[in-house]
Structure 1
Amino acid sequence: MMTANWQAKWIWGEGEESPRNEWRCFRKTFDVPAATDSRPGASLRITADSRYVLYINGTRLGRGPVRSWPFEQSYDTYEVSHLIKYGEENTIAVLVLHFGLSTFYYLRGRGGLLAELNDSDGNVIVATDDTWLNSRHLGQHTRAPRMSVQQGFSEYVDATAWDSSWVEQSYNNTASWSNAIVLGSVGMEPWTTLKPRDIPMLTDETVYPVRVESLAKVKSFHITTALDVRNALNDGSEEHANGIHFTGFVVTSIRAQCAGVATIGFLQSGQCLRTLSLNGEEIPLDRFYGTMPELYTDVNLNEGDNMLVIDVSGNIHAGKMDLGVYGEACGELQFAAPLEQLAAHSESTFFRIGPFDSIISIDHQPSRELEWAHPVYVKLLGELKRPEDLGRYEEWLSPIDPKYVSEADVFALSVWRKENVKFAVPAQLQNAIIPNPDAGVVPVFEGYDTEVLFDLGKEYSGYLSFEVEAEAGTVLDWYGFEYMSGEYRQDTFDLDHTLRYVCHGGRQVYETPIRRGFRYLALTVRGATKPVRIYGVTFIQSNYPMAQVGRFECSDTLMNDIWEISRHTTKLCMEDTFVDCPAYEQTFWVGDSRNEALVSNYVYGVQDILKRCLRLVPGSKHQSPLFVNQVPSGWSSVIPNWTFFWAIACAEYYEQTGDEAFAVEMYDSIQYTMGHYLLKIDDSGLFNVKGWNLLDWSPIDQPNDGIVTHQNMFLVKTLRVAAQMGIVAKDKEGAAKFEQAANNLANAINEQLWDDEKKAYIDCIHVDGRRSDSLSIHSQVVASLTGVVEGERKQIIDAYLIQPPKEFVQIGSPFMSFFYYEALAKLGEVRLILDDIRHHYGTMIRHGATTCWEQYPNFLENRANPDMLTRSHCHAWSSAPAYFLGREVLGVRSLTTGWTEVEIAPVPSGLTWAKGSVPHPAGGRIDVSWTTDESNQTMELNVSYPEGVVAQIRLPEGYTGSIKETKLGIV
Structure 2
Amino acid sequence: MFIKTAKVISEKREYPKGAKRICREGAFGGEWSVYRSSFDCAALPSKAEIYMFGAEYFRVYIGGKFCTEYSIRSYIFRRAYEVLDITEYISEGKNDIVVVACESGEEKRSGFSLELSLDDAVVALDWQTRKYEAVIPPMTYMLSNYIEHFDAAKDDALVASGTFSWSGVKTLDAVSEPFSELVQSRQKEQTRIVYSPHKTVAAEAFFDDKGYEAELCGDGSYSVFASNIHCDGDITVRICQFGATEVCIDGAKADCDNDIELSSGVHLITVLSGGNVSIRICGEGFEVSSPIGGKWAVCKIQKAKTGMVYPWNEPKRVTVVPEEANRILHTKSFDLLPENKLVATVAPMSLFSKIKMRKHISCSDGFCDEKLSSVSPREERTDPRGITNPDGAHSGGAVVIAPSKLGADLILDYGCERVGLVGFDVEAPEGTEIEFMTFEMITGSGIRYMGPGSCGNVKCREGRTRFLSNKKRGFRYLALYFPPCEGEIKLCSSDMIETRYPAEVAGEFVSDDKRLCDIYKISVDTAKSCMMDSYVDCPGCEQNVWTGDAAVTAEVNMTCFGEKEFDERYLDMIGDSTDDGVRRIYRTNNPRFLAKKNIVCACFPTFPEGGIPIWSLSWANQVVSHFMHFGKGENTEKNLRDLDECFNRFFIQTNDRGLLSIDGAWNLIEWADNDLMPCGEVTANNMMLSGVLASVAGMHELLGNTEKAEFYRGKSKAYRDAVNAYCWDENEHAYADTVRDEYAYREYVRFCTEKGREVLSMDDYMSLSRISAQTNTFALLYDCADGERAEYCKQILLDSVKDGNYVSGSPSSVLPNQVKKRVGIGTPFFLYYTLRTLYRLGYYDIALGVIRRDWGAMIDDGLKNCVEAFRMKNGEWGRSAAHAWSASPAVFIAEEVLGVKPVKPGYTEFTVAPHACGVSKAYGYVPTPYGNIQVKWTVGDDGKTEIVCHAPAECKRVEK
Normalization by structure 2: what TM-score? 0.82
Amino acid at match of 2:495: T
Question: For 1:520-559, what per-residue CA distance to the aligned partner results, in whole angstroms no more than 9, with x for missing partners?
Answer: 1111111322332111010111111233214211111111
Q: Equivalences for 1:62-461 in 2 at 5 Å?
A: 62-88=68-94, 90-98=95-103, 110-128=109-127, 132-135=128-131, 137-142=132-137, 151=144, 153-160=146-153, 162=154, 164-168=155-159, 171-175=160-164, 177-182=165-170, 184-222=172-210, 233=219, 246=221, 260-267=235-242, 269=243, 273=244, 281=250, 287=254, 312-313=273-274, 321=276, 323-330=278-285, 338=290, 362-364=309-311, 386=334, 392-393=339-340, 397=342, 400=345, 405=347, 407-421=348-362, 423=364, 424-425=366-367, 428-433=389-394, 436=396, 438-446=397-405, 448-461=406-419
Instruction: Write the mapping of 1:502-521 to structure 2, written as runs, cut at 5 A.
Output: 502-521=459-478
Aligned partner (choices 441, 445, 451) of residue 483 of structure 1: 441
**Same amino acid, percent of matched pairs:** 22
Shift of 1:482: 0.9
| CA distance in structure 1 between the partners assigned to 2:608 and 2:228 by the alignment | 35
- Between the aligned partners of 1:491 and 1:851, the Cα distance in structure 2 is 15
Matches of 2:270 and 2:135 in 1, distance apart? 31
1:430 CA drift (Å): 1.6
Quick check: 2:526–2:865 contact (8 Å CA) kept in 1? yes
Q: 1:637 to 1:458 in 2, by over 3 A?
A: farther
Q: Which amino acid aligns with 1:412?
A: S
Aligned to 1:594, the other structure's residue is in SS state helix
Match of 1:657 in 2: 630
Change (3 A) 1:665 1:928: same
1:911 equivalent to 2:919? Answer yes
1:4 aligns with 2:15: yes
The CA deviation at 1:510 is 0.7
Distance, in Å, in 2 between the alignment partners of 1:93 and 1:751 is 65
State which drifts further: 568-577 or 636-645. 636-645
Instruction: Tell me what 2:571 maps to.
Output: 614
The Cα shift of 1:469 comes to: 0.6
Query: What amino acid is aligned across from residue 863 of structure 2 in structure 1?
Result: A
> Could you tell me how far 1:791 is from its partner in structure 2?
2.4
1:547–1:274: structure 2 CA closer, same or farther, 3 Å change rule? closer
Residue 514 of structure 2 corresponds to which residue in structure 1? Answer: 557
Residues 660 and 95 of structure 1, relative CA distance in 2, 3 Å threshold: closer
Query: Deviation at 1:475?
Result: 1.8
SS in 2 for 1:788: coil
Find the counterpart in structure 2 of residue 843 from structure 1. 857
Partner residue, 1:629? 602
* CA deviation profile, 1:243-265 (whole Å, cap 9, x unmatched): xx656666778898887443443
One-letter identity of the residue aligned with 2:835: Y
Matches within 5 A, 1:716-731: 716-724=690-698
- The answer (yes or no) to whether the contact 2:246–2:271 under 8 Å persists in 1 is yes
Deviations 1:729-762 (A, max 9, x none): 8776655444333222211222222233433222
Note the alpha carbon deviations across 1:866-911, whole angstroms, 9 max, x for none.
2422211101211111111111111111111121001112221111
2:45–2:119 contact (8 Å) kept in structure 1: no
Instruction: Give the aligned partner of residue 749 of structure 2.
Output: none
Deviation for aligned residue 1:785: 0.5
Could you tell me how far 1:385 is from its partner in structure 2? 5.3
Is 1:723–1:739's contact at 8 Å kept on the other side of the alignment? Answer: yes
Deviation per residue, 1:176-201 (Å, 9 max, x gap)? x2313415322344433333334222
> Could you report, residue by residue, the CA deviation over 1:117-139 in whole angstroms, capped at 9, with x for unpaired residues?
232223224154xxx1312x323
Deviations 1:30-64 (A, max 9, x none): 340311xx543222233333211221222112222
CA distance in 1, matches of 2:180, 2:226: 43
Question: What is the alpha-carbon distance in structure 2 between the residues aligned to residue 50 and residue 743 of structure 1?
Answer: 45
* In 2: Cα distance, 1:789 partner to 1:883 partner: 26
Residue 870 of structure 1: aligned partner: 878
Closer/same/farther in 2, CA of residues 560 and 213 from structure 1, 3 Å limit: same
Partner of 2:21, secondary structure, is strand
**1:490 Cα deviation from its structure 2 partner:** 3.3
Is 1:801–2:797 an aligned residue pair?
yes
Match of 1:958 in 2: none
Say yes or no: does 1:681 pair with 2:654: yes
**TM-score, normalised via structure 1 length:** 0.81
Name which of 472, 494, 501 aligns with 1:544: 501
Displacement of 1:571: 0.7
8 A Cα contact 1:42 1:81, kept in partner: yes
Distance in 2, matches of 1:936 and 1:366, equals 54
Secondary structure of the 1:775 match is: coil
- The residue aligned with 2:938 is 931
The one-letter code sitting in structure 1 at the alignment partner of 2:714 is Q
Gaps of 5+ in 2: 1-11, 368-386, 588-592, 746-764, 804-820
Asked whether the equivalents of residues 360 and 366 of structure 1 are also in contact (C-alpha less than 8 Å), the reply is no
Contact residue 930 and residue 942 of structure 1 kept, 8 A: yes
Question: Is the contact between residue 472 and residue 503 of structure 1 (CA under 8 Å) also seen in structure 2?
Answer: yes
* Maintained 8 Å contact 1:566/1:880: yes
Give the structure 1 partner of residue 891 of structure 2.
883
- Give the aligned residue type for 1:792: E
* Secondary structure at the counterpart of residue 167 of structure 1: coil
Report the CA distance shift for 1:746/1:2 in structure 2 as closer, same or farther (over 3 A): closer
Assess, with a 3 A threshold, how the Cα gap between structure 1 residues 607 and 156 changes in structure 2: closer, same or farther: same
Q: What are the within-5 Å matches in structure 2 for residues 682-701 of structure 1? A: 682-689=655-662, 690-701=664-675
Question: What is the CA–CA distance in structure 1 between the aligned matches of 2:517 and 2:735, rounded to whole Å?
Answer: 37
Match of residue 619 from structure 2? 646
Aligned to 2:644: 671
Residues 431 and 460 in structure 2, CA contact (< 8 A), matched pair in contact too: yes
Alignment deviations for residues 779-827 of structure 1 (CA, whole Å, 9 cap, x no partner) = 2211110011112322343344345478743222111111111111112
The equivalent residue for 2:722 is 748
Aligned ranges for residues 755-770 of structure 1 at < 5 Å? 755-766=729-740, 768=745, 770=766
CA deviation map 1:575-606 (0-9, x unaligned):
11111111001111101111111111121111
Instruction: Name which of 944, 947, 956 aligns with 1:950.
Output: 956
Distance 1:924 1:133 in 2: 47
| Counterparts in 2 of 1:913 and 1:634: CA distance versus 1, 3 Å | closer
Conservation of the 8 A alpha-carbon contact between 1:811 and 1:817: yes
Secondary structure of 1:126's counterpart equals coil
Q: Which residue of 2 aligns with 1:293?
A: none
3-state SS of the aligned residue for 2:87? coil
Q: What do the CA deviations read for 1:695-716 (whole angstroms, capped 9, x no partner)?
A: 1223233334333222221121
Provide the aligned C-alpha RMSD in A: 3.8
Alpha-carbon shift at residue 950 of structure 1 (Å): 1.0
Deviation at 1:306, TM superposition (A): 7.9
C-alpha distance in 1, partners of 2:646/2:255? 49
Equivalent position SS for 1:32 = strand
In structure 2, distance between residues paired with 1:47 and 1:111: 11
Checking the alignment, whether the CA contact within 8 Å between 1:465 and 1:539 is kept in structure 2 is yes
Cα distance in 2, alignment partners of residues 73 and 528 from structure 1 = 49
Q: What one-letter code is carried by the residue in structure 2 that aligns with 1:913?
A: K
Unmatched segments (≥5 aa) in structure 1: 102-107, 234-244, 290-295, 314-318, 344-348, 955-971
Q: Residue 828 of structure 1: which of 824, 842, 845 is its match? A: 842
C-alpha change, 1:377 and 1:32, in structure 2 (3 Å) is farther
Number of equivalenced pairs: 870
Which letter does structure 1 place at the counterpart of 2:77?
F
Change (3 A) 1:74 1:850: same
Following TM superposition, by how much is the alpha carbon of 1:222 offset from its aligned partner in structure 2, in angstroms?
4.4
- Select the residue among 464, 467, 470 that pairs with 2:428: 470
